[in-house]
Structure 1
């Protein structure tokens, strides 16, 4: 419905209220062509999202046979800041297990699946999902990642203090808050300044203004995840 309203709004802008019949005909034809192109673009993106979700489900089934009943939903199909869809990016999914029943309740273990793409994963031949590197993250690993990120983004050095603050509070644009109090403020950096920490054998974390940068050592790709995506992921784990 929201997409339909948007398209109708665009159409109302493209077609003037006063004009002669010939001009109106030309404008309508142009508007229809533009809307057809928009519709095709929307359909293509939706198809990509469906294929990505299918691929994520297949990966989970192949690599985690112990998970036998679960929900898998896309959080952010394009969680990166870079606009070029063919470049390195990250696709995020939230996964929650449940007990099979009539109208089951999602109350089981929560995990997040991150799919990091490499340059050229979208090309003239379509989508190459072989160029995705997968990381399945549970709550404990997520806390470890966010502790490392918050430490590199702020002056806080205590793992315990950061972990307890994260579990009680929430990540916002300027730091970590507990209720309305800014408990751990982030550094204020310009767009060309970076702070780096070596997180694991697979990745480094880079703090840049309002972004978490993840550098994958294997592929040497640097992906910047939007702060809004981080907030949603954190709330998924710790929502009441």
Structure 2
């Protein structure tokens, strides 16, 4: 924020001509201040929505998963985003990790991801309508199963054990599954209007398209696009220690 303020003030000084400087200085400063207030309001709104999202996700966990007694919950989606980006978000991702209570506890317990799939109108003039969000709680084993089917959808590889080993020891990148510098499972190169599909379970179907994972929710009949960056972040959260 300090860098933004300094940049705006410097630009304001540069665009004012020397003639009539004293008369225009006040107007320029006022304009810069207005721009800063707009930026601050946007940042504050995003932060407020992030806090509200985390509160609602926490309430969901407390209501539906009483076995979670001590846990950390943080969103992966709101940092660095603008309001218009958030309103277009089709899935909110929360990372959850259990811990043992103590002074300055370490997050070293079991990890989960909570996915909140949004539908049209989930953000309106009144804020966030969480009745338009469908929740899925996923642990590392379930995520590995999901990514195995996703990799099978996105590539010509069909050996489950080989895919799981590659996923556990490597990482997902834009072009496939890589272990260190070697591409173990390359993904299909598809144009934007080509899709490969595969059923995962009774609730969702995977749709592979270049640089994105499509998840078709059978109950609502919504197709949700999950960016490759989000997939990479979630996979690293589960398996970054390997």
Task: Pick which of 226-235 and 60-69 moved more.
Answer: 226-235
User: Equivalent of 2:7, from 5, 9, 27?
Assistant: 9
Unaligned runs of 5+ in 2: none
Deviations 1:149-188 (A, max 9, x none): 1111111111111111101111011110011101111111
Task: Pick which of 127-136 and 187-196 moved more.
Answer: 187-196
Q: Is the 8 A contact 2:46 2:78 kept in 1?
A: no
Aligned-pair Cα RMSD in Å: 2.0
How many Å apart are 1:17 and its aligned residue?
Answer: 5.7
Q: Distance in 1 between matches of 2:62 and 2:232?
A: 27
Q: Distance in 2 between matches of 1:165 and 1:152?
A: 15
How many Å apart are 1:202 and its aligned residue?
Answer: 1.4
Q: Distance in 2 between matches of 1:215 and 1:27?
A: 51
How many Å apart are 1:26 and its aligned residue?
Answer: 2.4
Residue 72 of structure 1 aligns to a residue whose secondary structure is strand
2:170 corresponds to 1:172: no
1:203 equivalent in structure 2: 204
How many Å apart are 1:143 and its aligned residue?
Answer: 0.4
Q: Is the 8 A contact 2:16 2:24 kept in 1?
A: no
Alignment of 1:50-89 (within 5 A): 50-77=51-78, 85-87=86-88, 89=90
Alignment of 1:92-131 (within 5 A): 92-131=93-132
Q: Which has the higher contact order (CA 8 A, sep 6+)?
A: 1
2:191 corresponds to 1:190: yes
Deviations 1:93-114 (A, max 9, x none): 1111111112222111111111
Q: How many residues align?
A: 236
How many Å apart are 1:60 and its aligned residue?
Answer: 0.4
Give the TM-score taking structure 2 as reference length.
0.90
2:33 corresponds to 1:35: no
Give the TM-score taking structure 1 as reference length.
0.91
1:91 equivalent in structure 2: 92
Q: Is the 8 A contact 1:87 1:118 kept in 2?
A: no
